[in-house]
């Protein structure tokens, strides 16, 4: 297990918005896992009992007064911990197990990669046909805190974070890897919020993803046009 192989601190971060009906199954697994030095649940101004349920577990609960979105909620938790490695997962994930957590965290703890992504089995999604054409968006991932700190503030808004993390992980260091885990799924937005509201939220999510992808592609193109010396300075290389 990752916790037995290293003295590095690992913090688990779970952003949650109105997940009272789903977060217990996630916390049953995460809060009892020995790899984590702490587990942080960020309740993003939920109107249900999400925070009350989380407080039943040996976790630290941060309650946002206003809805900040996924990216800012994760950022708030990361800034509050001294852990060197961050594991984060969605509060509505299903099929998460101690074995999956070990497989996601171990490559980062062992310095094989800067980030490892646990991909869900997307066969049940009605959007499954476009998955090969979009960035890896797995919400269950482990990464070095130093990688998170590389992200410009623009990419810490809502659903831009995963696309940006993939990009910055490849800029230097050890990059990232991923694995699709059979049985790892989530409750889709259309089921949680109803067909109309769920689809509306999905459109907003993909708008964030595509805007981040466009900005990163433009940034990459501009950097590739720089002279090599100027590009090294821009990337922070001496």
For position 62, which CATH number holds?
3.90.550.10
pLDDT recorded at residue 32: 97
Answer for the pair 169, 163: CB distance below 8 angstroms, yes or no: no
Name the least confident of 39-48, 61-70, 116-125, 163-172: 116-125
The pairs formed by 207-210 with CB atoms below 8 angstroms and a separation of 24 or more are: 208/157, 208/158, 208/159, 208/160, 209/134, 209/135, 209/137, 209/159, 209/160, 209/162, 209/163
3-state SS of 21-71? CCHHHHHHHHCCCCCCCEEEEEECCCCCCHHHHHCCCCCEEEECCCCCCHH
Exposure of 59 by Cβ count < 10 A (0-12 exposed, 13-18 middle, 19+ buried)?
middle
pLDDT for position 12: 98
pLDDT for the residue numbered 139: 72
Residue 33 forms part of a structural domain: yes
pLDDT of residue 184: 87
On whether residue 119 sits in a domain, the answer given is: yes
- 150 vs 202, residue with greater confidence: 150
CA-based nearest residue to 45, from 62, 64, 60 = 64
Could you tell me if residue 226 is inside a domain? no
For 11, 15, 112, the CA distances from 91, given in Å and listed in that order, are 15, 7, 27
On whether residue 199 sits in a domain, the answer given is no
183-208 pLDDT, tens per residue? 888 666 556 656 656 555 656 666 76
Asked if 45 and 64 touch (Cβ cutoff 8 Å), the reply is: yes
- Structure-model confidence comparison of residues 143 and 2, the more confident one: 143
Q: How many domains does the chain have?
A: 1
Q: What is the pLDDT of residue 238?
A: 35
Instruction: Evaluate whether residue 207 is within a structural domain.
Output: no
Find the range with the poorest average confidence among 66-70, 153-157, 181-185, 213-217: 213-217
Give the model's pLDDT for residue 220.
Answer: 61
Instruction: Give tens-digit pLDDT for 90-139.
Output: 999 999 999 999 999 999 999 999 999 998 776 544 444 444 445 566 67
Q: Is residue 223 over pLDDT 70?
A: no
Please check whether residue 219 lies inside any domain of the structure. no
Which whole number is the average pLDDT over 74-84?
Answer: 97
The count of other CB atoms within 10 Å of the CB of residue 11 is 22
Strand order, beta sheet including 176-181: 60-63, 38-43, 10-16, 85-88, 140-144, 115-120, 176-181
* pLDDT at residue 121, rounded to an integer: 72
Domain residues for 66? 2-188
Q: Which residue in 101, 78, 90 sits closest to 29, CA to CA?
A: 101
Residue 77 lies in a domain: yes
- What pLDDT was estimated at residue 221? 47
- Cα dihedral 89/91/96/101 (nearest 10): 30
Q: Tell whether 96 is covered by a domain.
A: yes
Range of lowest pLDDT (1-15, 152-166, 193-207): 193-207
> pTM value?
0.78
């Amino acid at each position: 297990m990752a916790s037995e192989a290293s003295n590095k601190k690992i913090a688990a971060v779970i952003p949650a918005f109105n997940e009272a009906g789903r977060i217990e199954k996630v916390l049953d697994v995460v809060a009892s896992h020995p790899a984590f030095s702490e587990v942080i649940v960020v309740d993003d101004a939920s109107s249900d009992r999400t925070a009350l349920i989380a407080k039943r577990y040996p976790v630290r609960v941060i309650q946002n007064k206003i809805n900040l979105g996924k990216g800012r909620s994760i950022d708030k938790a990361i800034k509050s911990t001294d852990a060197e490695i961050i594991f984060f997962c969605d509060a509505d994930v299903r099929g998460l197990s101690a074995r999956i957590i070990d497989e996601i965290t171990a490559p980062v703890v062992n310095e094989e990669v800067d980030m490892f992504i646990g991909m869900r089995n997307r066969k049940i999604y009605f959007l499954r046909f476009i998955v090969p054409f979009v960035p890896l968006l797995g919400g269950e991932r482990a990464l070095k805190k130093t990688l998170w700190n590389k992200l410009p503030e623009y990419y810490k808004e809502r659903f831009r974070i995963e696309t940006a993390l993939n990009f910055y992980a490849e800029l230097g260091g050890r990059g990232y890897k991923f694995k699709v885990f059979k049985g790892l799924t989530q409750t889709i937005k259309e089921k949680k919020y109803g067909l109309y509201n769920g689809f509306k939220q999905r459109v907003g999510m993909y708008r964030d993803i595509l805007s981040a992808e466009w900005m990163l592609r433009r940034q990459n193109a501009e950097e590739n046009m720089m002279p090599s010396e100027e590009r090294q300075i821009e990337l922070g290389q001496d």
